[in-house]
Structures are given as C-alpha cells and as structure tokens.
Amino acid sequence: MIYLDNSATTKPKKEVLDAFVKVNEQFYANPASLHEMGNQAEDLLESARSQLKELLHMKKIVFTSGGTEANNLALIGTARNYQHRGKHIITSETEHPSVLKTLAILEQEGFEVTRLSVGDTGEISMEKLKKSLRNDTILVSLMHVNNEIGTIHPIADIARLLRKRRIFFHVDAIQSIGKLEFDSTAMPNLLSVSGHKIHGLKGSGLLAYSDVEIKAVQFGGGQEFGNRSGTVSVPNAVALAKALRLTSPHPLISKWNHELRQFFSSFNGVKIISPKQAASHILAIAVKGTKGEIIVSGLQKELIIVSTSSACSSKNNQESPVIQAIGVPREFKDGVIRISFGEFTTEQDIIAFKKAFQRVYRVIKGV
C-alpha cells in the first residue's frame, strides 16, 4: 500500500514509539505526585516542555489531546481573558472547523467575528485584514498552511502588523510545523501543534504561547499551571518532543510536487487546485465531471491511498468550505482529491502513483 494522505495523519516513527513505550514502562507515575517516582515523571515532563519551547521559539507550553483542543483553548481562553479590552475577533473563511465552530460558540457569548474572504489561491488580502482591524479587536486567528490546498499565509508579516496594534495572534500551525521554517523574530502569540501530523502519536498536541495569558476551559485539579486540568500524559509529552526533534523536511518533496504538476497538466480533464506557491507537501487537484470519492476508490484498488479533502470533512456530503471559498468551477468542484507527502514517501511511490492515476483516469473517462 502506498500512503499519500499524510495531511490526514502520518505513520509514527519507530523512535517516537520506542520513547512512548519506554516512558510508559519506566516512568508511569503521576507527575503531580509528591513521591520520588512522581518527581522523576515530572522531571521528564518538564524536560519535554523545555525542549518544545526552544524548538518552537515560544515561552510557555500547555499539553493537549491534539490540535482541536489546542485551537479551542487558544480561542476561548484568550477571548474570555481579554474581553474587557474588546470583543472583536478576525479569522478567515477557510479555517479548520475546530476554529470556525469555536468562534461560532464565542459569537453566542457576545463576541463579534469577522471572517475574511480569500482569493482563488486561498490567501487573505493583507489590505482587507488591515481594514478589518478595529480598536476593539483582541484576536486574529489564521492557519499557517491550509489543510486542503496548501495555501501559505505570511505569518511573520501578520505577526509584526498585529504586534504594533497590541492584538493577539493565534496560528493553527498543524500543517506547517516540521515542514516550513518559522521566523523566530516574528512569532505569533499562540501556536497550535498536533503530534500525529509530524510522525508522532494521536492524542498528543500542544498550545504554545508567549506574551499572552489564557483562561482555562477545562477544570479540575489545576494541572498545566491551571490551564488544563487532568493528569498529564508524560509518555505523550515525551513522544511529542521526540517527534518534533526528529522532523526534517523531505528534500525531494518540492521536486515531486513540481513533477506531479507537470504530469497532471497533460490531462485535459484535470485542474490543479493548489496554488503554485502552496506548501509542497500538499497537492490538490480536481477531475472534471466526476466525484472525488470515485477517484479515491479507484486509486485504493490500485493500492494508493489519497483523500478527497481534509480527513475531518471527507465523510460528510457537504461541499468543502475551502473549495467553495476559492471558487473552483462547478464542473470540477466535486472531483477534488488531495495528495499529501510525508517523510516516508519515496520516489517509487510517486512513479507508482502516476501509473495508477493514468489507469484510473482511463476507466473513469472511458478513454
């Protein structure tokens, strides 16, 4: 089986699994306990936290169950803590549901949300963002890399702009951490990370933050400095630090992306959806007059795994808000598939994919 759905999830690395098992076997005590075993577990937890702070260029870390929880905590925790300064929040139309649905909840609490439209490349306009800023704007939340088409937002430029206005900036970095470089001099205030997108483990993630304070949204024993109650999973924290330390952008991904763009351009009925400047590890295309599910199924029979869009929305029948927002022509919008590369992808995988796609395309089109 050739796995090209790495934006949905990735295969854990052996080193990460080994670290998880070792900590579970040897340091299973509760890190909040006062005895020696608890202290040893706490030392490991804080070591992982320190490593992650350094790797991410951020001052504080709260461990979470994944990216969705990190996004929820960032938005609700910041909005509720600073509502005395204003109740206006800005985002874009193409964010992950864990951002858009959380902001809808905040609207019910009296917050006002501006959702910026995007162009056909999926980017927001910096001018529109500037014009949308108000005296009562307290938070801007944007993805770094779009999970469906790979559009990259200029995070450093936006961070510098918002810093001058004393507006907090949250970045959903779940599709960019470990793949793109960050400007350490222009980091956002809040950064969401998920372990299983970087060859780590499901059920692990974090919210990193600097120069902002958040209100807890989960209550109990006051773990994680009062920001997230519940016994902290030391094995997950150690495994996440390990996964992030081991991330290394694949040197051939840009080349494969370029080659596949050339390959798809030879098909009259195929439209490349991802913009040219998108992140290389995500390539979305659409086949005219068919459904993405049919292509995914056809490729699966060829032992190739891709997806129709994001994993979170691929099983519902609603049109992707991203595809809708960028204005994909009607004859193509149902036929979108996403190909996403990981660190285990090989040259042979790309060659096999091309051959399989040609066979599936001929069957679908009857040519």
Output the CA–CA distances (angstroms, integers) from residue 90 to 107, 138, 176, 183, 359, in the order listed. 12, 9, 21, 22, 45
Q: According to CATH, what is the number of the domain 14-246?
A: 3.40.640.10
Q: List the structure tokens of 108.
A: 């019910």
Measured N-to-C along each axis, helices 67-81 and 97-108 cross at an angle, to the nearest 10 degrees, of: 30
How far is it, in rounded angstroms, from Cα 350 to Cα 341? 10
In the predicted model, residues of the chain with pLDDT beneath 70 are 310-317
What was the pLDDT predicted at 367?
76
What was the pLDDT predicted at 330?
93
Q: At 184, which amino acid appears?
A: S
φ/ψ (deg, to 5) at 254: -60, -40
Which residues are CB-contacts of 292 (< 8 A; sequence separation ≥ 6)? 286, 308, 309, 334, 335, 336, 337
Select from 274, 337, 286, 351 the least CA-distant residue to 309. Answer: 337
Select from 243, 242, 162 the least CA-distant residue to 199. Answer: 243
How far is it, in rounded angstroms, from Cα 51 to Cα 65? 18
pLDDT more than 90, % of the chain: 95
* pTM score, whole prediction: 0.95
What was the pLDDT predicted at 314?
55
Select from 193, 64, 78 the least CA-distant residue to 141. Answer: 78
Which residues are marked as active site? 312
Dihedral of alpha carbons 286, 288, 289, 294, sign = negative
Extents of the domains making up the chain: 14-246, 249-365
How far is it, in rounded angstroms, from Cα 199 to Cα 13? 6
In the CATH hierarchy, which top-level class contains the domain 249-365?
Answer: alpha beta
What was the pLDDT predicted at 249?
85
How far is it, in rounded angstroms, from Cα 210 to Cα 315? 36
Each as own residue / partner, the long-range contacts of residues 119-122 (CB below 8 Å, 24 or more positions apart, any chain) are 119/326, 120/275, 120/326, 120/327, 121/151, 121/275, 121/277, 121/278, 121/326, 122/94, 122/146, 122/149, 122/151, 122/275, 122/278, 122/322, 122/325, 122/326
How far is it, in rounded angstroms, from Cα 55 to Cα 72? 23
Output the CA–CA distances (angstroms, integers) from residue 178 to 163, 246, 296, in the order listed. 25, 9, 27
What was the pLDDT predicted at 66?
97
How far is it, in rounded angstroms, from Cα 249 to Cα 103? 32
